[in-house]
Amino acid sequence: MIKLTRLKSHDHEFVLNADLIETVEETPDTVITLTNGKKLIVEEKKEEIINRVLEYRRAMFVNLR
């Protein structure tokens, strides 16, 4: 799970299951397309989302040891 902020709602933070992310695009807004086709527009840049997903996945594997 990763924390994100909806665009233009600085105080509206939410948590997204990173396994549901299909694509992340900057158009210039950051648009996340989920595996179910739903689209989310968020404040974070593409690189920040990638870093958060990587951190989440690393944490998952650390717990397996």
pTM beyond 0.85, yes or no: yes
The pLDDT confidence band at residue 63, using thresholds 50, 70 and 90, is low
Q: Is the predicted pLDDT of residue 62 greater than 90, yes or no? A: no
pLDDT confidence of residue 23: 98
Which CATH number does the domain housing residue 26 bear? Answer: 2.40.50
Structure letter (DSSP) for residue 6: B
Structure letter (DSSP) for residue 10: T
Domain count, the chain: 1
Contact 32, 49 (CB under 8 A): yes
Q: What residues make up the domain containing 58?
A: 2-62
Under the banding of pLDDT at 50, 70 and 90, the label for residue 52 is: very high
